[in-house]
Amino acid sequence: MARPVQILTDSCSDMPKEIREQYGIDYVKMNTVYQGKETPASLDFEYYTPKELYDTMRNGGRVTTTQVPVDEFERAFTKYLSEGKDVVYIGCALKQSSSVNTGTVVAKRLLEKEPEAKIFCVDAMNACFGEALLAMRAAEYRDQGMTAEEIHEKILGDRNFVNEYCTVHTLDYMKRAGRVTASKAFFGNLFGVKPIIIADAVGAQVGYKKAKGRQTSMQEIVNLLKETITDPEKQTVYVLHGDCQEEADELAKMVKEAIPCKDTYTTYIGPIIGASLGPDALALFAWGKEITFVG
């Protein structure tokens, strides 16, 4: 008889509690250093509100982040192994975090004591809700009766069909987080140019296009998703935002007007991804055509 499977993701997935509960997904926590205090990066914003986090950055403060600690992996893996479950951990793209590598090391050590169990640590090659989409798909595979090994193989084939289109007000925060060079950030902020960011075919967050002005950039990410989304009438389009609810609601309305999707769902960009993108970022996520672009 096949062992039951637990799907895990991490703080980069930005998956709200109601969706985690709906799909039976748990997550391992990274850490943030916020106002000099290190706390777990909770997707439920237990230690500070989204507004407090993003206002800190708006006011010139810096929020730094860590990967998933070893003891957090040990806690989660041990918990589910003790329940007789195999684990599929779908982690933030290795181009953006080394957590998957850390998880793999911890898993190997734990499985030496339980050779009948399985733990698969998967590089999502996506972050933010792109990672969440893969975890949700993995949960659907689990509910269809697939084993951990079968889920692992299926998810490896699904990774490049996650479509992400993101725009930010400024590249300054990505520069501070080491995501872009100072010269690129300076160029991006000239004349109101707004970068369009995607997850490329190897899992890096890269500049894909540029748009002049905020409204144009919002329209551009809608247009891009319209071109690449597949079977929209069967899909929910996920709208993520960095504490700019009104613009997120406007973006969701633009999506509904342009794309015959089943629904839209709007939620916050969580603390880890938010620390890199900064306040007022907007992003769209859905399943679509295969990503082949490499930045």
Give the model confidence (pLDDT) of 43-65 as tens digits. 999 999 999 999 999 999 889 99
Per the CB < 8 A criterion, the answer to whether 8 and 103 are in contact is no
Look up tokens 């407090």; give the residue.
52
Amino acid at residue number 264: T
Percent residues over pLDDT 70 in the chain: 94
Q: Mind spelling out the 3-state secondary structure of 134-189?
A: HHHHHHHHHHCCCCHHHHHHHHHHHHHHEEEEEECCCCHHHHHCCCCCHHHHHHHH
Percent residues over pLDDT 90 in the chain: 84
Contacts of the segment 17-23: beta carbons below 8 A, 24+ positions apart: 17/43, 17/44, 19/132, 19/136, 23/135, 23/136, 23/139, 23/140
**Does the structure show a pLDDT above 60 at 189?**
no
Mean per-residue pLDDT, 136-142: 98
- Residue 114 has a pLDDT of 95
d(C-alpha 282, C-alpha 239), whole Å: 7
Per the CB < 8 A criterion, the answer to whether 135 and 28 are in contact is no
Per the CB < 8 A criterion, the answer to whether 295 and 208 are in contact is yes
d(C-alpha 222, C-alpha 210), whole Å: 14
**Does the structure show a pLDDT above 60 at 92?**
yes
Question: What is the token pair recorded at 138?
Answer: 């993995």
Q: Which of 28-37, 116-125, 197-206 has the highest mean pLDDT?
A: 116-125
39 DSSP β-pair partners: 32
- Residue 194 has a pLDDT of 87
Mean per-residue pLDDT, 27-56: 95
- Residue 243 has a pLDDT of 98
**Does the structure show a pLDDT above 60 at 248?**
yes
**Band of residue 181 on the pLDDT scale cut at 50, 70, 90:** very low
Find the range with the poorest average confidence among 106-120, 180-194, 276-290: 180-194
Per the CB < 8 A criterion, the answer to whether 222 and 166 are in contact is no
- Mean pLDDT, all residues of the chain: 93
d(C-alpha 110, C-alpha 30), whole Å: 20
Amino acid at residue number 22: Q
Specify the pTM. Answer: 0.95
**Does the structure show a pLDDT above 90 at 169?**
no
Mean per-residue pLDDT, 71-77: 98
Question: What is the token pair recorded at 82?
Answer: 């003790």
**Does the structure show a pLDDT above 80 at 171?**
no
192 against 263, higher pLDDT: 263
Mean per-residue pLDDT, 141-146: 98
Q: Cα 222 to the chain's mean position, in Å?
A: 19
Strands (E), the chain: 5-10, 25-28, 31-34, 37-40, 64-66, 86-91, 119-123, 162-167, 193-199, 205-212, 236-241, 263-268, 282-287
**Does the structure show a pLDDT above 50 at 183?**
no
Q: Which of 1, 2, 292 is nearest to 147 (CA)?
A: 2
- Residue 34 has a pLDDT of 85
Domains and CATH numbers, the chain: 5-159 (3.40.50.10170), 161-287 (3.30.1180.10)
